[in-house]
Amino acid sequence: MAFTIAEGGLDFPLPKVRRIAQRFEAPREESIGGAVEREMRKLGGRIRPGMTIAVGVGSRGLAQLSAIVRATVDELKRRGARPFIVPAMGSHGGATPQGQIDVLAGYGVSSEALDVPVEASMDTELIGSADGVDIFWSRAALRADAVLPVNRIKVHTDFHGEVESGLSKMLAIGFGKQKGATVVHLSGFDRFDQLLPKMTRIILDKVNVLGGVATIENGLEQVAHLEIVPGPEIPIREPQLLQRSRELLPRVPFDDLEVLVVDYLGKDISGFCWDPNITGRYAPRHLVDPRNPKKLVGLRLTERTHGNACGIGMGDVTTRAVVENIDYQKTWTNNVTASELGGGRTPIWMPDDRSAIALAIATCPRIDRAAPRLVRIESTLRLDEMWVSESLWQSDGVRNSRLAALGEPVEIDFTPQGHLRDLPLPAFSHGRAPWS
């Protein structure tokens, strides 16, 4: 298919790029099993032999998720408890039990792998309300003697406050399944910073929350810290852990970008497929980031996202490889539940990588096509290495002591079909319209 939508075409020379490395502060838990065993002692006598414990696990691609969940259920079993897994992910997985089971299985969290049941029912019960917002909760989790959520604490993609993505949000929204998540999201992201702490306190009063297995990740996508926070301490301790997570959050080390190219998008990378705290593109209108690039390009979906492209609408340009692998049922269900419909829109798509990147460059106002301020990253989780245009490196990078060149500037390497040689085309296909 020939595209002639840009004046003068898109076959102009693209800039040379240089691969660079970025240094981070990178503390790391050396042993996941050892950390869970150490932290489980905090719960002491609250774990009784024979008690059933609902371990909440979400759809995010936490570093070493399967190892963390395995260590958690093993420690609970060792103390005589009977743990089982509850998918605590709101409407993700297409808002179906099997869909949520499949999401967890993709991370190695399954009944077979862990030798524990997975209770994935979407049924909920009303347990209270906060500021007029009803709190619906997983019926399967409520039947347990106690609950233990497992989640990463980090800056959220759609709101900012004392608690963001982490234990409180999983308790307030993840365990709410589709019904609970929908009700909370319709209150508006601009209220989340006040609403979630109130909801958490009510849930802690109504539900026996043993605690929460909380992780913080470093800029290398490793577990920097693992801590079990006893239930009553969650409202006090979680804001402190969030602040530490902010300190470790990696960034694209350049301002005023004209083009940001992201190789992979997916729910295993961010709840919004590409983290707005990195891209500078937020769906809620009340959040504005000055680091927002003039053009944002997405090239592939991860296999683990199972076709869920929630957030793709924040991009300007994408590729056929993305749109043909979108599962619109999952994508639109996720966006509708979140009440932010813009993330479900499909950007202008091009048949190959080269034309997608060229279109982004060609449509940037006042750009020097031979010397654009361009960065290409693998994903918003991987910022330890990236490709940058040689002009940007020379103007902003070469004197930055946290950056190091990994080679000489080179031409971007495409196949004759215009696809990046180092970025395979997906072998999977989820693409289908929701009405098919």
Residue 340 to residues 127, 179, 343, Cα–Cα distance (Å): 26, 16, 6
Residue 286 has a pLDDT of 63
Over range 287-295, report the average pLDDT: 78
116 pLDDT more than 90? yes
Token pair in block for residue 8: 């003068």
372 Ramachandran zone, left/alpha/beta (phi>0; psi -120 to 50): beta
The whole-number pLDDT of residue 285 equals 65
Side chain identity at residue 126, one-letter code: L
β-pairing, 82-87 vs 385-389, is unpaired
Phi, psi of 112 (to 5 degrees): -70, -45
CATH 3.40.50.11440-classified regions of the chain: 32-248
Asked whether 370 and 15 are in contact (CB, 8 A), the reply is yes
User: Among 291, 293, 282, which Cα is nearest to 361's?
Assistant: 293
What token pair was written down for 396?
A: 């902003």
Query: Which residues on adjacent β-strands are paired with residue 150?
Result: 57, 213
Assess contact for 149 and 212: CB atoms under 8 A: yes
pLDDT of the residue at 194:
93
In this prediction, residue 430 carries a pLDDT of: 67
pLDDT at 25: 81
Residue 272 has φ and ψ, to the nearest 5°, of -110, 15
Q: What is the pLDDT of residue 179?
A: 95
Query: Most confidently modeled of 2-11, 255-264, 336-345?
Result: 255-264
> What pLDDT score does 289 carry?
67
Residue 435: per-residue pLDDT = 45
The single-letter code of the amino acid at 212 is G
List the single range of 56-60, 122-126, 173-177 with lowest mean pLDDT: 56-60
Which of 87-91, 184-188, 276-280, 387-391 is the most confident on average? 387-391
pLDDT of residue 160: 80
Residue-level pLDDT at 82: 98
Considering the domain delimited by 32-248, tell me its CATH architecture. 3-Layer(aba) Sandwich (3.40)
Look at residue 401 and give its three-state secondary structure. coil
Tell me the C-alpha distance between 313 and 320, whole Å: 15
Q: How far apart are CA 5 and CA 309, in angstroms?
A: 25
Mean pLDDT throughout 137-162? 92
pLDDT of residue 431: 62
Average pLDDT rounded to a whole number, residues 327-341: 85
Is the confidence at residue 199, as pLDDT, over 50? Answer: yes
Q: What's the average model confidence in pLDDT over 392-417?
A: 96
Exposed, middle or buried, 431 (CB in 10 Å: 0-12/13-18/19+)? middle
**Residue 5 confidence (pLDDT) above 50:** yes
3-class SS of residue 421: coil
Q: At residue 47, does pLDDT exceed 50?
A: yes
Share of the chain above pLDDT 90, in %: 75
Across the chain, what does the average pLDDT equal?
Answer: 92
Q: Given a cut of 50, is residue 3 above it in pLDDT?
A: yes
What burial class does residue 121 get, using C-beta atoms within 10 Å of its C-beta: 0-12 exposed, 13-18 middle, 19+ buried? middle
- pLDDT band, very low/low/confident/very high, at 383 (cuts 50, 70, 90): very high
Tokens for 261, please give them. 């190219």
